[in-house]
Structure 1
């Protein structure tokens, strides 16, 4: 019997996903500030180094954590319920 899609469950998962992305973005900003502070200890910051650090650190944090958040969202929203692999097969 296929699983049904629950809209309330999906809405709650969507709200939680948005909160997670907000916290991840905040963590990315904090990590960028920390990385720039650390780099400033060893010499002057040049524009290209600042741009590369911002892009590299922030994008890496958002990509890595964002993919984990998307996996959790997919599971909690019920989108994964209908997908079954070989273990979900039944003999007829």
Structure 2
């Protein structure tokens, strides 16, 4: 089961205007590559992101990795309750999606 870390992180304020969601497209900060990318979500995935705050989008494998693992789009709270959208894989024993940069 995947969990989310919900702590406010002031470092996310630098990403406020760089990530967004419009309709079924979300621009996210990919923590694995440290780059921004735009992802298309179908209706169900967009709804899950809106309701739960995270959704699995696909399995990825980057250079040097031995296997592919599931990646999630999730939202983190920044200042004034605004959201920053991240792309990452669950970390640790508890499979946590972390809002740390």
If the length of structure 2 is used for normalisation, what is the TM-score? 0.24
Whichever of the two has the greater Rg, that structure is 1
The structure with the largest helix share of the pair is 1
If the length of structure 1 is used for normalisation, what is the TM-score? 0.25
